[in-house]
């Protein structure tokens, strides 16, 4: 939703704030005034702000007016339909609350909708993971993620085709590998055993006549026979180890033997050699894709990265923008650029989260309370440009006492991309007066 206008009755004075649909900058307000305005803007959506009236547009284009006269019944009116729709927004106590309709209490709304410099810094510190992914080559990163997703889907298809689960491919592959190891070891051991029998028998037969004329040669013949026999025993022990490994894998799969595994698998999974082969190949492709992803992104879940694609891609673009600005500015340093990029990343994430803090798809405005205080003046334009491009979904309202921000906003307001509201002292504006933006 977007605020169009908020009217605050304060004693004999009435303040009217007309909001830009994308970005409104309220300049010239100190910490106390910012705190009060943020409270009124968020509280206007709750149930306890008598004397605060609100006109807004929902994400679906519905124009509503919320009237909260002191000492009288609060109402919500559908402006286009000229109909009282208050009952849609009443809570269990009978009060009007746009927040509670979305399953949000005032505390959660304050945390989600208000963003200060401290909040940005805290978010920047906790968003190192997104920052790390944003530093990677984005083409390679998302190509690897897409490959993991495609191979996972193919694995699901092959598993479903044989009436199993993707995890079965790992079981099958492990058992097949160990069974092949057993067969290879048995084949070598069989050959060595036959060779040992031949060599040992020959050595024994020859050693008798040779012993009389060449005793040393007879000793060599006996040694060769003994060595061959020893090798046969060594490979027999390898066969035993391979069989134990296969038995362990079969036991984990709930089978007593390889043949039993072949026969008893659910839905005849392994009875079809071609189906088994396709499933194992799909599992191998998926493992290779997962390995490539780990090489690019580290120990980050692909699903998590895809869920945060917008924030990661935005942070990557922001880092490039900030570094470009730093390269052009003689006063901007690499450390400043990195810090600003981290703040920009946190800003993107908080803007994105404001789009879905409720139980429905309705967005809520985000209130920025002097978020760029203390930054190098040369770095503020990049962040303000980012805010200007990002604002609109959700609507952003920036409260500031920073002349750098105000000067930038005055120029941008000329193009109609945003509006700047600045207090004008010693005048009072009635609620119906929409020409003057803010009066203090």
Q: What is the pLDDT of residue 126?
A: 52
CA dihedral 379, 385, 388, 390 (to 10 degrees): -90
**pLDDT tens string 131-165:** 788 888 999 999 999 999 898 888 777 766 655 54
Residue 324 lies inside a defined structural domain of this protein: yes
Q: Which single residue is written with the structure tokens 């079981």? A: 171
**Number of domains into which the chain is organized:** 2
Do residues 192 and 137 share a domain?
A: no
Residues sharing a CB contact under 8 Å with residue 346, sequence separation 6 or more, in sequence order: 120, 121, 123, 124, 127
Cα–Cα distances (Å) from 281 to 154, 276, 375, in that order, read 10, 9, 54
Do residues 8 and 122 share a domain?
A: yes
Do residues 84 and 186 share a domain?
A: no
Contact of 199 with 224, CB cutoff 8 Å: yes
Residue 45 lies inside a defined structural domain of this protein: yes
Q: Which single residue is written with the structure tokens 């009436």? A: 163
Contact of 386 with 318, CB cutoff 8 Å: yes
Q: Which domain holds residue 79?
A: 2-143+301-421
Residue 155 lies inside a defined structural domain of this protein: no
Residue 229 lies inside a defined structural domain of this protein: yes
Do residues 338 and 249 share a domain?
A: no
Q: What are the counts of helices (DSSP H) followed by strands (DSSP E) for the chain?
A: 15, 11
Q: Buried b / exposed e across 194-225, counting CB within 10 Å, b at 16+?
A: eebeebbeebeeebeebeeeeeeebeebbeeb
Do residues 122 and 194 share a domain?
A: no
Looking at the whole model, is its pTM more than 0.75? Answer: no
Q: Whole-angstrom distance between the N-terminal and C-terminal Cα of the chain?
A: 27
Give the H or E element holding residue 287.
helix 273-297
Do residues 212 and 322 share a domain?
A: no
Residue 337 in 3-state DSSP? helix
Residue 283 lies inside a defined structural domain of this protein: no
Rg (CA), the chain: 37
CA pair distance 339, 239, nearest whole angstrom: 60
Phi first, then psi: what are they for 66, rounded to 5°?
Answer: -105, 120
Do residues 243 and 307 share a domain?
A: no
**How many CA atoms does the CB half-sphere of 33 hold within 13 Å?**
15
Do residues 16 and 121 share a domain?
A: yes
Structure tokens at 250: 């079969």
Do residues 341 and 247 share a domain?
A: no
Q: Final residue of a domain: which of 218, 252, 271?
A: 271
Print pLDDT tens along the chain (440 aa).
899 999 988 777 888 899 999 999 999 999 888 988 898 899 889 887 788 999 999 988 999 999 999 888 999 999 999 999 999 999 888 899 999 888 888 888 888 888 888 777 766 655 677 778 888 899 999 999 999 989 888 877 776 665 554 545 556 666 667 767 777 777 776 776 666 666 666 656 655 565 566 566 656 655 666 666 676 667 677 767 777 777 776 665 555 665 555 554 544 444 455 666 777 788 888 889 989 999 998 888 888 888 878 778 877 876 676 666 554 444 444 445 556 666 777 777 778 777 777 677 788 999 999 988 888 888 888 889 888 988 888 999 999 999 999 999 999 999 998 999 987 654 443 433 433 333 33
Residue 187 lies inside a defined structural domain of this protein: yes
Do residues 86 and 210 share a domain?
A: no
Contact of 438 with 424, CB cutoff 8 Å: yes
Do residues 136 and 175 share a domain?
A: no
Q: What is the pLDDT of residue 435?
A: 39
Q: What is the pLDDT of residue 168?
A: 52
Residue 277 lies inside a defined structural domain of this protein: no
Do residues 127 and 12 share a domain?
A: yes
Residue 436 lies inside a defined structural domain of this protein: no
Residues sharing a CB contact under 8 Å with residue 315, sequence separation 6 or more, in sequence order: 130, 131, 134, 341, 344, 345, 348
Q: Residue 88 sits in a domain of what CATH number?
A: 3.40.50.300
């Amino acid at each position: 939703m977007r605020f169009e206008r908020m009217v605050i009755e304060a004693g004999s004075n009435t303040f009217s704030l007309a909001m830009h649909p994308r970005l409104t900058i309220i300049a010239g307000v100190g910490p106390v005034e910012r705190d009060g305005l943020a409270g009124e803007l968020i509280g206007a959506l709750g149930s306890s702000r008598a004397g605060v009236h609100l006109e807004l547009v929902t994400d679906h284009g519905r124009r509503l007016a919320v009237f909260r006269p002191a000492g009288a019944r609060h109402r919500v009116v559908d402006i286009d339909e000229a109909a009282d729709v208050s009952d849609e927004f009443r809570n269990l106590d009978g009060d009007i609350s746009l927040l509670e309709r979305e399953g949000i209490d005032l505390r959660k709304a304050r945390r989600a909708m208000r963003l200060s410099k401290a909040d940005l810094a805290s978010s920047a510190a906790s968003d190192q993971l997104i920052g790390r992914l944003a530093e990677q080559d984005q083409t390679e990163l998302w190509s690897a993620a897409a490959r993991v997703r495609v191979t996972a889907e193919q694995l699901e298809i092959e598993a479903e085709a044989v009436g199993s689960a993707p995890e079965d491919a790992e079981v099958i592959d492990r058992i097949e590998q160990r069974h092949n190891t057993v067969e290879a070891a048995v084949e070598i051991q069989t050959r060595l055993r036959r060779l040992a029998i031949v060599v040992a028998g020959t050595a024994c037969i020859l050693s008798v006549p040779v012993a009389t004329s060449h005793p040393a040669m007879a000793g060599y013949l006996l040694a060769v026979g003994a060595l061959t026999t020893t090798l046969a025993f060594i490979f027999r022990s390898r066969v035993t180890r391979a069989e134990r490994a296969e038995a362990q894998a079969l036991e984990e799969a709930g089978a007593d033997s390889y043949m039993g595994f072949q026969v008893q698998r659910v839905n005849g999974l392994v009875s079809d050699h071609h189906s088994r082969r396709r499933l194992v190949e799909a599992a191998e492709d998926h493992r290779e894709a997962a390995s490539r992803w780990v090489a690019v992104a580290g120990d980050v879940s692909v699903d998590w990265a895809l869920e945060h694609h917008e924030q990661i891609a935005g942070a990557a673009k922001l880092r490039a923008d900030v570094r470009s600005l730093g390269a052009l500015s003689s006063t901007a340093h690499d450390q400043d650029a990195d810090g600003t990029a981290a703040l920009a990343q946190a800003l993107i994430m908080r803007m994105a989260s404001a789009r879905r803090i409720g139980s429905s798809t309705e967005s809520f405005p985000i209130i920025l309370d002097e978020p760029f205080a203390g930054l190098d003046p040369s770095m503020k334009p990049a962040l303000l440009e980012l805010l200007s491009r990002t604002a609109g979904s959700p609507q952003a309202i920036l409260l500031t006492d920073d002349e750098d921000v105000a000067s930038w906003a005055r120029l941008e307001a000329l193009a109609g991309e945003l509006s700047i509201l600045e207090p004008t002292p010693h005048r009072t504006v009635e609620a119906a007066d929409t020409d003057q933006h803010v009066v203090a």
